[in-house]
Amino acid sequence: MPDKLNALVMSSDNPIVGPKTATQLRAFAAEPEPETATKDQVEVMIGKLAMATAQAKVSEAEASARLELYWLALSDIPVCDLRAAFVDLVRTSKFLPTPAEVRTAALLPGARRRYAKSRARHLAWLHDREWRAPIEAIRPDELEALKAEAGKALSA
């Protein structure tokens, strides 16, 4: 989505947009949700996060069980949202976050995307409800002719 359109969608303004912008907004709102992460993608992200943060030594079986818990908590989240959360958590976490903490961090980008789509639908709806094609201005000579006709009609 173009920056100007993104700024409009994320603002609190409710302008009546034109047909071209309304078409772009509808196309954005109709885009499907991103694909959810695969189990391998979740395991790689959590493994890298574990390497980047402090944690206690665990057995192979416990590590496998933990990965399964992360998968259960994160299996319904789009991979792009998990990547955004992963980058944020690598930058801010001193210890390995719990599945709930990773999930909370991953839900924020999705919430922004859903809000933007909701706003895009709203602005397209406003266009459908309020927008009118611009009216062609009357040339001065046509205005004078209409005045003359109206004057004759009123005096008769």
Strand partners, 54: 95
Ranges of H-type helices in the chain: 3-10, 19-30, 39-52, 60-74, 79-92, 99-130, 140-155
C-alpha 120/C-alpha 22 separation (Å) is: 8
List pLDDT tens digits, range 55-89. 778 888 998 999 999 999 999 999 999 999 999 99
What pLDDT does residue 2 have?
86
Average pLDDT on 21-34 reads 95
Q: Where does the pLDDT of residue 1 fall: very low under 50, low under 70, confident under 90, or very high at 90 and above?
A: confident
Query: Where in the chain are the domains?
Result: 3-130
Average pLDDT on 152-156 reads 82
What pLDDT does residue 136 have?
86
Q: Where does the pLDDT of residue 35 fall: very low under 50, low under 70, confident under 90, or very high at 90 and above?
A: very high
Q: Looking at the predicted structure, is the pLDDT value of residue 54 above 90?
A: no
